[in-house]
Amino acid sequence: MPLPTPIPLRSGPGRWVLAATVLGSALAFVDATVVVVALPRLAEDLGARTADLQWTINGYGLTLAAFLLLAGSLGDRLGRRRVFLVGVVWFAVASLACALAPTSGALVAARVLQGVGGALLTPGSLALLQSTFAGEDRARAIGAWSGLGAIAGAIAPFLGGWIVDSVSWRWIFAVNLPLAALVVLATLRHVPESRDPRGGRLDVAGTVVGALGLAGLTWGFTRWGDTGRVTTDALAGLVAGVALLGLLVVVERRAADPLVPPALFAWRPFAATNAATLVVYAAITGLGFFLTTTLQVVVGWSALAAGLASLPMTLLLLVLSPTAGSLGTRLGPRLPMTVGPLLCAVGLVLLAPVGVGTTYLAGVLPGVLLVGLGMTTLVAPLTTTALAAAPDALAGTASGVNNAVARVAGLLAVAVLPLVSGVGSGLTDPAVLAPAHRTAMLVCAGLMLAGAVVAALGVPGSAEAARPPAAQAPGVSSGASSRRGAGGRPAGS
């Protein structure tokens, strides 16, 4: 099928296309974060243990990260609108299952399914914008999509906290149903279908091996933290996870159309940028997981107040990112990607003492502001370098890989941090959580310092130096690029 004739962004159909893609991607993006606000209430209502709460987050993150790149290829092959619609409907049905879940096990199972739906719809939203609009309209549409998505991220903690306090945690899932219905109607009526005429093979083997490897690691670390010792099944999960991720490298090297071309990582700036992404986004996920829970369980704040605590960080990203992007262009990526994590590390150290009697203005806001400034300094150069450090033909693949790396970082952070912080099964016990929070914040600060070191040593001082020396990475099929060109929201969004 040829690409559809471009339509004007300011036309009625153009606005509906933008609305449908923004709402669709916001569903998946918001549900990846808003559940953290509800964790203490989930534990109370469902009798959930710490491991159950971890899997409530990681069940979603695991399938979303594992199937994201394959879903982009699937949309290009079968039709972007079709796969996007399947993803939205799937996501809505899984959201209903989450809202009705009678037990923590049922909730985790529904969240796993919800992540599959999120993976199907997330890459399709950006791919539909790319195929529907052209020229300046395309740039404006993608800019609006990113900006409105950031606004959704700013609203999510407030909305989630208000819903949890005013109605029930179940409604943070049920509210997805009318929004999904609106997305489906708008997509059916106004969004044209498109496919990639170059086709290509689906890397199912790579996807399955990668998903199983991540699942093994997640299971092993979560089980270890829950029991407080390395049980036989925890060790088996860790060993299997490492072995399968090692096998993934072999599978991708032999694949005709690999989801993650190994040759990309042979270029030092690309490898360093993604290594920095891994540790930085692990730290940010750990911050969100522990701070929001500690403010409710230890300090005694409401879900709404805890959700609003990090709002300044999101607002700084929203307001100052364009300026930071321009500054990063002039200075080159190395300096902001080194200074940004250092600012975040200081902010995380300031947030370590949060506990009984903490006030927002003195105990929370300074740290949140510093983390926000650090992330604002870091995100735009990181995303730009992740794209620039790949051949032009693989820019879409590079974006998808960087986004997947950020999601895997969050997945591993939620699995590992409760273990290393010593919280064990006491995430809802104030006496256990208070010292564990302090440890977790210091560990996250250490991860930020590691990100600064990686950037200082591996990221070039100029955008031009980040570009690979050849127009095409060796051993990589150029036809693979656009099929994964909508790997989803950039890591920093």
Helical axes 365-388 vs 311-331, angle rounded to 10°? 40
What is the rounded distance in angstroms from the CA atom of residue 330 to the CA atom of residue 325? 9
Separation of CA 109 from chain center: 20
Tokens 């150029």 belong to: 478
Whether residue 73 contacts residue 124, with contact meaning beta carbons closer than 8 Å, is answered with no
Buried b (16+ CB within 10 A) or exposed e, 234-250: beebbebbeebbebbee
Instruction: Report CA-CA distances (Å) from 362 to 75, 100, 149, 358, 366.
Output: 49, 40, 30, 8, 7
Phi and psi angles of residue 459, each rounded to the nearest 5 degrees, phi first: -95, 130
Phi and psi angles of residue 348, each rounded to the nearest 5 degrees, phi first: -65, -40
Q: Is 434 helix (H, G, I), strand (E, B) or coil?
A: helix
Please choose, from the candidates 417, 435, 108, the residue with its C-alpha nearest in 3D space to the C-alpha of residue 294: 435
Dig out the tokens for 201 from the structure.
């093979």
What pLDDT, on the 0 to 100 scale, is given for residue 467?
Answer: 83
Dig out the tokens for 303 from the structure.
């879900």
pLDDT along the chain (493 residues), means of 10: 66 84 85 88 93 94 89 82 93 97 96 94 80 76 73 81 93 94 92 72 88 94 89 94 94 86 87 95 95 96 93 86 80 93 98 96 97 92 83 73 89 94 91 96 98 95 79 44 45 43
Separation of CA 156 from chain center: 14
Count of beta carbons in the 10 Å neighbourhood of residue 151: 15
Phi and psi angles of residue 469, each rounded to the nearest 5 degrees, phi first: -70, -25
What is the rounded distance in angstroms from the CA atom of residue 204 to the CA atom of residue 28? 23
What pLDDT, on the 0 to 100 scale, is given for residue 486?
Answer: 45
Dig out the tokens for 352 from the structure.
């370590």
Whether residue 234 contacts residue 178, with contact meaning beta carbons closer than 8 Å, is answered with no
Tokens 């990221």 belong to: 459
Please choose, from the candidates 399, 385, 383, 381, the residue with its C-alpha nearest in 3D space to the C-alpha of residue 268: 385
Instruction: Give 253's contacts (C-beta < 8 A, 6+ positions apart).
Output: 262
What is the rounded distance in angstroms from the CA atom of residue 478 to the CA atom of residue 417? 39
Instruction: Report CA-CA distances (Å) from 78 to 4, 85, 202, 259, 366.
Output: 15, 12, 11, 17, 49
What is the rounded distance in angstroms from the CA atom of residue 141 to the CA atom of residue 238? 43
DSSP assignment of 13-52, as one string?
HHHHHHHHHHHHHHHHHHHTTGGGGGHHHHHHHH---HHH
Dig out the tokens for 175 from the structure.
């509210």
What is the rounded distance in angstroms from the CA atom of residue 462 to the CA atom of residue 460? 6
What is the rounded distance in angstroms from the CA atom of residue 47 to the CA atom of residue 41? 9
pTM reported for the whole predicted model: 0.87
What pLDDT, on the 0 to 100 scale, is given for residue 491?
Answer: 45
What is the rounded distance in angstroms from the CA atom of residue 307 to the CA atom of residue 155? 10
